[in-house]
Amino acid sequence: MSEPKAVQVVIVDTPGLGDRGYIVHDGLHAMVIDPQRDTDRIDELIIEHGLTVTHVAETHIHNDYVTGGYHLAAAHQARYVVPSGVDLAFLGESNVDVVGDGSTFGVGELEVAVVHTPGHTPHHISFAVSRDGSSGDGLPGMVFTGGSLLYGTVGRPDLVSPEATKQQAADQWHSAHKLVDQLDGQTRIYPTHGFGSFCSSIQTTGTESSLEQEHQTNPALTQTESDFVDMVLAGLDVFPAYYAHMGPANAAGPTGADLSAPELADGGELRRRIEAGEWVVDLRSRAVFMPAHVPGSINVDLSGSFVNYLGWMIPWGTPLTLIGDTREQVATAQREIVRIGIDRPVRQAVGDVTSWMSEGHTPASIRRIDFATLAAEWQPGSSDIVLDTRQILEWESGHIKDATFMPFYDVAARMNEIPRQGTVYVHCGSGYRASVVVSLMRNLGWENVVHVDDAFGKAAAAGLEIVHEEAPEREPGWTWTASRAGVRTFTPGAVSEGVSA
């Protein structure tokens, strides 16, 4: 009699969003869990491993990306497994299976048990997978925890509504304990979020773990419920604005991605699109962009957290043109944006900067400095200002004395608060977000902007005084809520009723 084979897992990593999808299989039959929209990656892996997809499953209805699950299940004639308790447009379709706590089903020789793990969303479920009949064979099982139990933390609980946040945080604590109580300590955990995702309540640690390891280190399992809830609420900051559009798209059953290349645009068309208020996004590094770029273009460096910050700052539905050094660079960006529902760029431009210029126009430039230069030039109380574009918790952890606080995602709406007299020195934590802001300001007519491209940790050493103050209470679209410990947290309005990231 042959030895039983361990359950096998293929990780489908999406570092731009800080997420992972999974293919779990028995060597022949596969279940795909929480796939991203660009399912061609899944198809290639399925062929490579010689598998047949029998099930595609969602741990929850996501709000940080558009799922590929609905399309993938239809393409492979597989069962589409979704959690109960959420309104979805496709619930009546013949291949859709609605499951809840205690549901079980088979994937070839694999046995899948559904565990209701609310907290990230009320309807959230986890999938515990083992080999059929493997009890006592010494093979560890696994549990796919989505946005519930992550490595060293849990998924954030504030994406359904501000009013539900405290209860959702408590639910995360109970869900973590439920998994530990119901499953063997050697069970390996495979979360969807937490690898740089804004869906994580705090930064995760590590890239693999088991329930036993989490039991020793995860605050959800080492702290009391009240201490854990206080800690989570105190650590929440604003989440990306594009989340508001993801849940409704996923609840409707999104189509597959079109990754065919957009048509090329010449310099004249780029200029016309910029003048029409469209976004022409330059994908090159900020070090390359600042000395020479198309006037009015906006710099969102592809090598950084490109899709998060582009999706966060672009007015939703604005036509988008991508420009870069090569077609491959543009194609990479196109794959990133389709994952958050920006279906197609309207045009692309590739080559060197002179090829992107319309006749009679020359490249623009923006001055780029470090904190040492800022300390030497800036005179507090003058008409020059330092604009701190970091997030709330970053500001409160320490900021330059007399700086003006305006989070990067608020700049476009609050541009009239920025003086036109004097110089505006713009910084963030590393220079990345500030590059988006200064290029957007230049696009909107501010000529006196300077990009502080430096790590904020160097500001004090440069001679700038660092102080600690709470963020202003009045910010557009936000409300203050209080944790049980009295710690104030800044929470945006609800995303989508019943859905979350």
Q: Looking at the predicted structure, is the pLDDT value of residue 225 above 70? A: yes
The CATH number of whichever domain residue 108 belongs to comes to 3.60.15.10
End-to-end alpha-carbon separation of the chain, Å? Answer: 45
**Domains contained in the chain, number:** 3
| Residue 86 included in any domain | yes
Residue 107 CB contacts under 8 Å (≥ 6 apart), including other chains:
24, 25, 26, 29, 30, 31, 54, 55, 129
* Residue 140 banded pLDDT, cuts 50, 70, 90: low
- Among the residue ranges 6-20, 69-83, 387-401, the one predicted with the least confidence is 6-20
pLDDT, tens digit, 9 for 90 and up, residues 185-204: 999 999 999 876 666 655 56
Query: By C-alpha distance, which of 351, 338, 243 is closest to 294?
Result: 351
- Domain-embedded: residue 339: yes
For the ranges 106-110, 214-218, 232-236, 424-428, the lowest mean pLDDT is seen at 232-236
Q: Looking at residue 359, what is its pLDDT? A: 81
Letter string b/e over residues 1-36, b meaning 16 or more CB atoms within 10 A of that residue's CB:
eeeeebbeebebebebbbbbbbbbbbeebbbbbbbb
| Same domain as 342, residue 404 | no
Whether residue 489 has pLDDT greater than 80: no
Tell whether 334 and 373 lie within a shared domain.
no
Does 444 fall in a domain? yes
Question: What's the confidence (pLDDT) of residue 138?
Answer: 45
Mean pLDDT (whole number) for 38-53: 97
For residue 2, what pLDDT band results from cuts at 50, 70 and 90? very low
Residue from 20, 129, 22, 107 nearest 65 by CA: 20
Q: What is the mean pLDDT of residues 319-345?
A: 96
Residue 87 domain flag: yes
Average pLDDT, the chain: 90
pLDDT above 70 for 440? yes
438 neighbors 366 (Cβ within 8 angstroms)? yes
Residue 91 domain-assigned (yes or no): yes
Beta bridge partners of 189: 143, 209
Q: What is the pLDDT of residue 208?
A: 86
- Tell which residue, 165, 341, 170, has the closest CA to residue 252: 341
Is residue 94, in this structure, part of any structural domain at all? yes
Same domain, 101 and 187: yes
Residue 150 sits in the same domain as residue 198: yes
Residue 261 lies in a domain: no
Same domain (yes/no): 378, 345: no
Is the pLDDT at 491 greater than 80? The verdict is no
1 confidence band (pLDDT: 50, 70, 90): very low
Q: β-strand 279-282 against 298-299: which pairing, if any? A: parallel
Say what percent of the chain tops pLDDT 70. Answer: 89
Q: What tens digit of pLDDT does each residue of 339-368 get?
A: 999 999 999 999 988 888 888 889 999 999
Distance in angstroms (rounded) separating the CA atoms of residues 501 and 156: 8
Q: What was the pLDDT predicted at 201?
A: 56
In this structure, the answer to whether residues 180 and 299 fall within a common structural domain is no
The closest of 155, 158, 209 to 180, measured between CA atoms, is: 209
Q: Is residue 258 part of a domain?
A: no
Same domain, 384 and 420: yes
CATH number at residue 279: 3.40.250.10
pLDDT tens for each residue of 49-95 = 999 999 999 999 998 999 999 999 999 999 999 999 999 999 999 99
Among 11-15, 352-356, 370-374, 484-488, whose mean pLDDT is lowest?
484-488
Strand pairing category for 104-107 and 96-99: unpaired
CA 324, 327, 329, 332 dihedral sign is: positive
Q: Let me know whether 217 and 96 are in one domain.
A: yes
Cα–Cα distance, 380 to 120 (Å, whole number): 44
Q: State the Cα–Cα distance between residues 458 and 478, nearest whole angstrom.
A: 30
**Residue that is last in its domain, among 356, 378, 395:** 356
Residue 205's pLDDT band, with cuts at 50, 70 and 90, is: low
Q: Looking at the structure, do residues 196 and 306 belong to the same domain, yes or no?
A: no
Least confident of 244-248, 250-254, 278-282, 478-482: 478-482
Distance separating alpha carbons of residues 145 and 381, to the nearest angstrom: 52
pLDDT digits (tens, 9 = 90+) for 457-479: 999 999 999 999 888 764 444 43
> To 10 degrees, what angle do helices 327-338 and 306-313 make?
60
Domain extent at residue 463: 367-469
Average pLDDT over residues 409-433: 95
Mean pLDDT of the region 402-425:
94
Q: How far apart are CA 235 and CA 227, in angstroms?
A: 12
- pLDDT for 139 equals 53
Can you give the pLDDT at residue 199?
62
Q: 74: how many CB neighbours lie within 10 A of its CB?
A: 17
Same domain, yes or no: 313 and 408:
no
Q: Which of 330-334, 437-441, 489-493 has the lowest mean pLDDT?
A: 489-493
Q: Are residues 337 and 404 in the same domain?
A: no
User: Is there a single domain that holds both residue 336 and residue 380?
Assistant: no
